[in-house]
Structures are given as C-alpha cells and as structure tokens.
C-alpha cells in the first residue's frame, strides 16, 4: 500500500497543480481589459479657415514730426528793443504780420524825414534845370541863330546831373523807409515761437539772433523706406510733383504726454538714397497739426513727436492672409483636408511681414490651415480639429480619440 501511495501521490499533486494553474490563467484572461485600437487615434490640432481677400498692402515706417518752415529771426538794423509782444515767448502763438519785437525807431524816423527833404530839394533843382534848358532853347530861336544848339547851350549836362540826383534821393528815401520797417520784427506766416533769445532793453546789432519760430500750417515727417518697402508702393516722382499721386498715410503715437491718430499724405520723395543706411526718404505732410487754423479737427500733433506711419500700398487681388507663424522654413503650410488628414502644401508667397504672410497660390479659400506647431508632420496623419465633434469609427463602434487624450487615459 505504501509503495502504491508513493507513486500515486506525486502524480496526483502534479495533476492538481496543472488544474489550478489552468484555472488561474483563465480567470486572468477573463479580467484583462480590452486593447484599444491604436489605428483609430488622431492628433488634435487648432486651425483657421483660409479666406480669399482683395486689399491694399500696408508699409510701416516711423519718423519725427518737424515743421515745414522754420525761421531764425535776426536783427537787420541796430538799436535798443523797446517793446516785445506778449506772444513772443517759447510756445507763443502768433498770427501772420503780427509785430513780435520793436526796435527803437527814432533814429530811423529822423533818417526818413531827412531823405524826404533831400528828395524834395533834388526835385526842385531838377525843375530849375529843366526851366533853364527850355529858356536857353527859346533864346536860341528868338536870336535867329541857325543850326542846332549844342548840349552845353541847352544845359543838358546840368539837367542830367539833376535827374541823377533825384534818382539817388529816391533810393535814399526807399532805404530809409525800409530801415524804419525793419525796426518792427514780423513773420509772414501763422506760427509758434520755439526760442526767445532777446528781451526789452537789450541793444542789438545787425545780425544779432532774436529767436526761432516755425509755421504751423503744415508739418512734415521724413519716413525711411527700404528697397523691399518700395516694391509695394507707388511713390510720387521727386521731380514731377502731382497731387493725384499723393498716398494716404495713417500716423499713430502712443505716449504719456501725447497719443492719437492723424491723417497725412505722402507729398514727395527726397530723390536720393541715403549712403549710410541705403534707404529712401518719403515725406508725409500733415495739414494744420495744431488745429488752430480751422483746417483740421484732429488731436493736436506737436512738433518733435515720434510717430509710426502706416502707408497705403499697391492693390492686391485674390490673396490669402495668414499668420507668419504658420509658414514653415521651406515655404509650406500644414492643411487639414476634408478627410481630416494632414497635408503639406507648398505655397507662393507674395509678401511676408513680421506678423502676416500673403499667399496667392497653394491654399484655397476655405481650407483649414493648421496653427498648432508640429515638429515632424507626416502626410496622411489622422487629425482631430478643435471645435469639431469626433467621428464614429466603423469597425468596433469606438469613437476616435485624440492622441493626447489616449495617453491621459492609459
């Protein structure tokens, strides 16, 4: 009996172990989760629809507002300043022809009276010489002398001398009148005073600086343009100015003391290329920048302000504008096609700006352009577009899940 148990017991233990292991394997298989079909996963991406547009290119530049006309006032006659206008201060506004400074006119008034008297005396001498010449001619005739009388007989040299003296006296009178007018310092435009250099009681000589003024009818901004910028502009000729060629410009400024927008126009180019920077300067004009002449209702634009300019460029028909970030280094963009699969499209770029890129072929109106960054895009990759409902798969009845969601769930 012991020998029988010695052989049967090991066999029975082996059989029981096999049965237990088989049962455990079956239980483990029954509890194993279903494997997801990795072929149904998709990459979630953000997109924007491409829109066909017709527009004018914009060229951006910047510059400083400066007066078109600026004058350094200097004394033309000598004398003491006896009066100063209340508007002749830094920042003072004055009208055309307003007397800003008065130099003592007494000496020049006296000189004017002297010139008037001298002219009257010279005219009297001329009249006397004319009478003597006419009398000499009558005497020659009454005496019955034959032939023509000589110039000396008719006193023509004395008459010519008297006429020259009258002309000299008239010139002296004009000079005296002009010197008297120069004692009143005026400017032939409406403007502002930039600097005041003299005051009441100060003696000035001819050539002494009195101050600096500038006209406020118009202001100008020199706008540097590169060769690339010039490709998108139709600038007026530097030698043939035509008002019909003026280009609209929008000026903007943002600062603690001044901000706003102003309308301007490109009125001319300087006609040369700067040798150091290799740029061409276009000049934009703003009418009535201070708004005091009734020609503008915009915010005051002060001289010296730094402004940014948006210049209206050439017309472009049928282009698509996309963010610069979607354009890849090899001039391609990523597209989510109708089947929501990845396509890599080569495009033709009309113009590239820091923020936008203009495309005229390679992308159609309504195409979904992918804005999500992808390091190694593979054509045909299944995509899930943000904002769209995921489509149902036809195989196992499971919905298509984005790759990121599948990783989060595993």
How many Å is the Cα radius of gyration of the chain? 48
pLDDT in the model for residue 259: 79
Output the pLDDT for position 241.
61
Give dist(CA 314, CA 322) in Å, integer.
19
Arithmetic mean of pLDDT, 16-22: 77
Degrees to nearest 5, angle at CA 246 with 242 and 250 = 165
Q: Which CATH architecture has domain 44-54+317-409?
A: Beta Barrel (2.40)
Res 297: pLDDT = 63
Percent of the chain with pLDDT over 70: 87
First to last CA, the chain: 59
Q: Confirm if 36 and 160 have CB atoms less than 8 A apart.
A: no
For residue 303, CA distances in Å to 60, 158, 246, 257 come to 21, 63, 22, 13
| Torsion, Cα of 349, 352, 355, 359 (10° steps) | -20
Q: Which CATH class name applies to 59-68+216-315?
A: mainly beta
Longest dimension (CA), the chain: 203
Kindly state the average pLDDT of the residues 344-373: 91
Mean pLDDT on 331-344: 91
Domain ranges of the chain: 44-54+317-409, 59-68+216-315, 78-213
Q: Is residue 211 classed as helix, strand or coil in its secondary structure?
A: strand
Most confident of 179-183, 359-363, 387-391: 179-183
Q: Which of 238, 241, 243 is nearest to 270 (CA)?
A: 238
pTM above 0.75, yes or no: no
Adjacent-strand bridge partners of 384: 44
Residue 246 pLDDT:
84
pLDDT of residue 23: 75
Better-scored residue on pLDDT, 15 or 276: 276
Contact 406, 82 (CB under 8 A): no
Sorting pLDDT into bands at 50, 70 and 90, what band is 193? very high
Q: Rounded to the nearest 10 degrees, how much is the dihedral formed by the CA atoms of 143, 149, 151, 155?
A: 10
pLDDT score, position 266: 92
Q: For the residues of 355-387, what is the DSSP string, one character each?
A: SEEEEEESS-TT-EEE-S--SS--TT-BEEETT
pLDDT value of residue 135: 85
pLDDT one-digit tens code per residue, 103-147: 999 999 999 999 999 999 999 999 988 888 888 888 788 877 777
Average of pLDDT values for 56-65? 92
Fold for the domain defined by 78-213: OB fold (Dihydrolipoamide Acetyltransferase, E2P) (2.40.50)
Strand order in the sheet with 203-204: 184-185, 101-103, 79-84, 203-204
């Amino acid at each position: 009996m012991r020998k029988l148990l010695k052989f049967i017991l090991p066999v029975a233990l082996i059989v029981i172990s096999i049965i237990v292991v088989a049962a455990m394997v079956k239980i483990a298989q029954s509890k194993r989760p279903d494997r997801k079909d990795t072929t149904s996963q998709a990459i979630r991406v953000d997109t924007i629809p491409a829109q066909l547009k017709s527009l004018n290119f914009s060229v951006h530049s910047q510059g400083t507002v400066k007066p078109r006309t600026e004058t350094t006032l200097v004394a033309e006659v000598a004398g003491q300043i006896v009066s100063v206008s209340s508007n002749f201060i830094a920042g003072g506004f004055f009208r055309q022809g307003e007397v800003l400074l008065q130099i003592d006119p007494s000496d020049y008034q006296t000189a004017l009276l002297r010139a008037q008297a001298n002219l009257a005396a010279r005219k009297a001498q001329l009249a006397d010489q004319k009478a003597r010449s006419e009398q000499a001619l009558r005497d020659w005739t009454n005496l019955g002398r034959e032939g023509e009388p000589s110039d000396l007989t008719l006193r023509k040299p004395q008459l010519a001398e008297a006429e020259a003296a009258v002309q000299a006296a008239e010139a002296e009178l004009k000079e005296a009148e002009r010197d008297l007018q120069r004692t009143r310092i005026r400017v032939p435009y409406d403007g502002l005073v930039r600097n005041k250099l003299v005051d009441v009681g100060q003696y000035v000589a001819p050539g002494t600086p009195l101050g600096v003024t500038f006209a406020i009818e118009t202001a100008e901004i020199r706008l540097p343009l590169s060769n690339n910028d010039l490709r998108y502009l139709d600038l007026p000729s530097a030698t043939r100015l035509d008002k019909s060629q003026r280009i609209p410009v929008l000026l903007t400024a943002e600062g603690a003391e001044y901000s706003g927008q102003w309308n301007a126009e490109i009125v001319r180019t300087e006609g040369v290329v700067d040798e150091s920077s290799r740029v061409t300067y276009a000049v934009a004009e703003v009418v009535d920048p201070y708004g005091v002449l009734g020609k503008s209702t915009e915010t005051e634009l002060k001289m010296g302000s730094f402004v940014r300019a948006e210049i209206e460029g050439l017309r472009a028909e049928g282009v698509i504008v996309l963010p610069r970030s979607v354009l890849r280094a090899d001039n391609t963009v990523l597209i989510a096609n109708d089947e929501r699969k990845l396509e890599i499209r080569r495009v033709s770029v009309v113009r590239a700006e820091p923020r936008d890129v203009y495309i005229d072929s390679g992308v159609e109106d309504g195409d979904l352009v992918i804005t999500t960054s992808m390091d190694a895009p593979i054509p045909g990759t299944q995509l899930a577009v943000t904002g769209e409902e995921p489509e149902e798969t036809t195989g196992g009845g499971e919905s298509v899940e984005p790759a990121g969601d599948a990783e989060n769930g595993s």
